[in-house]
Structure 1
């Protein structure tokens, strides 16, 4: 199985390094020196990682054969793709790869059908399930322990216990003041990682 693990950004310095937008929870595994990655567009790759380092909070990579700024800049916006065993699982029990979560049925704790996961959105504070309902509308479900109570890969379902108003479109706010108060509540916390972005 092929998974997108990073997107190449701008060149850094004059010796062929590039910044990368990491799209995996395991960069130390997927983006390690010696890793050979296919690319999109395919004509640019495969690329072999020669060195990697973190600079000012960003991962910088250098690829074999890329020795100057012009060659590095030519790689900009290229997607890096890793071959992953579809049966491989993350080390932590509460972590999942995106491909494991895609297309899971989303149900309430009483078994009521909510929809199907069509996308996982990775945000700085937490991950979100994008869930398509039977009527074609979409919901965003935070992937936090307080809401997503169980992931059952054998049954191909995610069980959720949503707070009032999260999935009920008929929830009404009593006044504008209440709406402002609700906006200060913050997120639910306890975000769990979801692994490689696909």
Structure 2
């Protein structure tokens, strides 16, 4: 899920960017959308309400996935002309509250940025548990799952970047309160921790 703040007013709920509307699909008002969420099935479910930053609301009538994109029909968008008028529009939803997220073992990308990446006990590299291999510097949207960008520093002071799939097999646990996550990377995925500065 990509995160987007609506403004600096603490009374406002945080908005998450869900999608960008693309070209029209067919003649009956459907549009192609590029999803920025890992919960597309939930966000595009019939009856879901998405909104623009200025508050215009769009209710999903139906949706379906096709290859790497979604095709969505919104209430009130009844023909190709109306669909084409939406091209480029970004839609948002309100963020879930933190308690719900914790119960579901879920995080927003901004929660992960800045966490230290440490090797898990019994890791495939055979190195000591807790060995630091860098810091999460970004969370990228991949075709199949999110990708963690982990930045470390070589002994020479050069910045090194690794791209790590955010899947349970490689990133078993996230400890937000403690400021780190654990990694069990296969050989070659990250720089040799013993060569880091």
| Band of TM-score, shorter chain | 0.5 to 0.7
Q: 1:72 aligns with which of 69, 76, 83?
A: 83
Matches within 5 A, 1:1-198: 1-39=14-52, 42=53, 46-54=56-64, 56=66, 59-87=70-98, 88-89=100-101, 93=105, 95-109=106-120, 110-134=129-153, 136-168=159-191
Give the drift of 1:56: 4.8
Normalised by the length of structure 1, the TM-score is 0.68
> CA shift at 1:46, angstroms?
2.0
Q: Contact between 2:49 and 2:60, CA under 8 Å: does it hold in 1?
A: no
**Would the aligned equivalents of 1:108 and 1:114 in 2 still touch at CA under 8 Å?**
yes
Distance 1:126 1:46, change over 3 A: same
Segments ≥4 residues shifted beyond 4 Å: 55-58, 90-93
* Per-residue deviation, 1:17: 1.5
Q: When the two structures are aligned, how many residues end up with a matched partner?
A: 167
The answer on whether the counterparts of 1:119 and 1:130 sit within 8 Å (CA) in structure 2 is yes
Higher relative contact order (CA 8 A, sep 6+): 1
Question: For each residue in 1:26-54, what CA deviation from the matched residue of structure 2 results, as whole angstroms up to 9, or x when unmatched?
Answer: 23432234433233xx46x5231241232
Distance (whole Å) between structure 2 residues aligned to residue 108 and residue 170 of structure 1: 10
Name the Cα RMSD after superposition: 3.0
Q: Is the 8 A contact 2:44 2:60 kept in 1?
A: no
Question: Using a 3 Å threshold, how does the CA distance of structure 1 residues 56 and 35 change in structure 2: closer, same or farther?
Answer: closer
The offset of 1:151, in angstroms, is 1.3
Once the 2 structures are TM-superposed, how far is the Cα of residue 73 of structure 1 from its aligned partner?
1.3
